[in-house]
């Protein structure tokens, strides 16, 4: 059994949309393949991105079937919501769920493909001549577009932030991988800094200073060293957690 929701704005894509489940494994260009897989399809000159989520374990299949929206559905609904707040994200097209005996198996999130120059991961610590400008603009984007509107992307890693070069030292940022979001009335400075802890494990001291000094100025913090302290605390906590997780996986394998 297949259930799906297609945005009325993209009703003309209905024939392709309803063939995704049968075409995904054999057609399209793979642009990402790890736990989940993303493919790009060219439909009448429009490039469309389809993300196929890995089949969850049995417990999560039951949860997503009866108690919580699937990752694909959340991606779509959060995509519409963040777009309505003026936050750039590839245009949401719809989502599809494959079910067996009423229990979800695979799910797909469908959106417009968005070209980009780099991700924030590719900018941090790079030799890009405009690196500091990009990082400062990115910090302003994060503070004004997300945190001031109460939006917390719960997987705000550098690979989930796309960077477009608009020319004349101007850049546009878009967020992807939206199935884990939190919408609050207010995001405190500490919550905002904690939200930035995942950017990259290899972030340099110079880039940390750039981010925290800009964030402190935007938040009206008269003590930027305090902002630096909290960022470092949250980032190092995250690094320790990732290192422990990596060690534990190796320990389990023996």
Residue 32 maps to which CATH number? 3.30.200.20
Residues 14 and 99 in one domain: yes
Segment 50-64 mean pLDDT: 93
Residue 194 maps to which CATH number? 1.10.510
What torsion do the CA atoms of 31, 32, 38, 40 make, to the nearest 10 degrees?
Answer: 0
Tell whether the model's pLDDT for residue 248 goes beyond 80.
Answer: no
Residue 222 lies in a domain: yes
pLDDT at 230: 96
Residue 208 lies in a domain: yes
Residues 184 and 108 in one domain: no
Residue 252 lies in a domain: no
Residue 249 lies in a domain: no
Taking the C-alpha atoms of residue 88 and residue 173, their distance in angstroms, rounded to an integer, is 7
**Residue that terminates a domain, selected from 68, 83, 112:** 112
Residues 138 and 26 in one domain: no
Taking the C-alpha atoms of residue 244 and residue 247, their distance in angstroms, rounded to an integer, is 5
Residue 250 lies in a domain: no
pLDDT band at 254 (very low <50, low <70, confident <90, very high): low
Tell whether the model's pLDDT for residue 253 goes beyond 80.
Answer: no
Residues 35 and 61 in one domain: yes
Instruction: Please give the tally of structural domains in the chain.
Output: 2
Tell whether the model's pLDDT for residue 251 goes beyond 80.
Answer: no
Rg of the chain on CA atoms, in Å? 20
Residues 133 and 159 in one domain: yes
Residues 149 and 196 in one domain: yes
Range of the domain at 19: 2-112
Residues 185-195: tens digit of each pLDDT:
999 999 999 99
Residue 203 lies in a domain: yes
pLDDT band at 206 (very low <50, low <70, confident <90, very high): very high
Residues 93 and 131 in one domain: no
């Amino acid at each position: 059994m297949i259930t799906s929701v297609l945005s009325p704005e993209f009703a003309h894509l209905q024939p392709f949309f309803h063939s995704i489940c049968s075409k995904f494994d054999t057609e399209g260009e793979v642009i990402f393949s790890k736990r989940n897989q993303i493919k790009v399809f060219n439909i009448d000159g429009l490039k469309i991105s389809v993300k196929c989520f890995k089949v969850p374990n049995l417990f999560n299949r039951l949860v997503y079937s009866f108690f919580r929206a699937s990752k694909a559905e959340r991606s779509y609904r959060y995509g519409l919501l963040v777009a309505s707040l003026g936050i750039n994200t590839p245009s949401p097209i719809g989502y599809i769920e494959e079910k067996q005996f009423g229990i979800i198996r695979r799910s797909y999130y469908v959106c417009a493909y968005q070209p980009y120059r780099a991700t924030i991961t590719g900018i941090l610590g790079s030799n890009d001549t405009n690196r500091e400008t990009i990082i400062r603009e990115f910090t302003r984007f994060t503070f004004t577009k997300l945190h001031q509107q109460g939006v917390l992307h719960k997987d705000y890693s550098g690979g989930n932030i796309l960077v477009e070069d608009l020319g004349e030292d101007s850049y546009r940022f878009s967020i992807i991988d939206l199935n884990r979001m939190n919408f609050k009335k207010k995001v405190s400075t500490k919550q905002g800094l904690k939200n930035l802890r995942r950017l990259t494990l290899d972030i340099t001291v110079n880039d940390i200073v750039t981010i925290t000094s800009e964030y402190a100025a935007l938040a009206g913090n008269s003590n930027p060293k305090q902002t630096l302290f909290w960022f470092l605390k949250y980032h190092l906590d995250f690094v320790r957690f990732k290192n422990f997780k990596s060690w534990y996986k190796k320990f389990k394998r023996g």
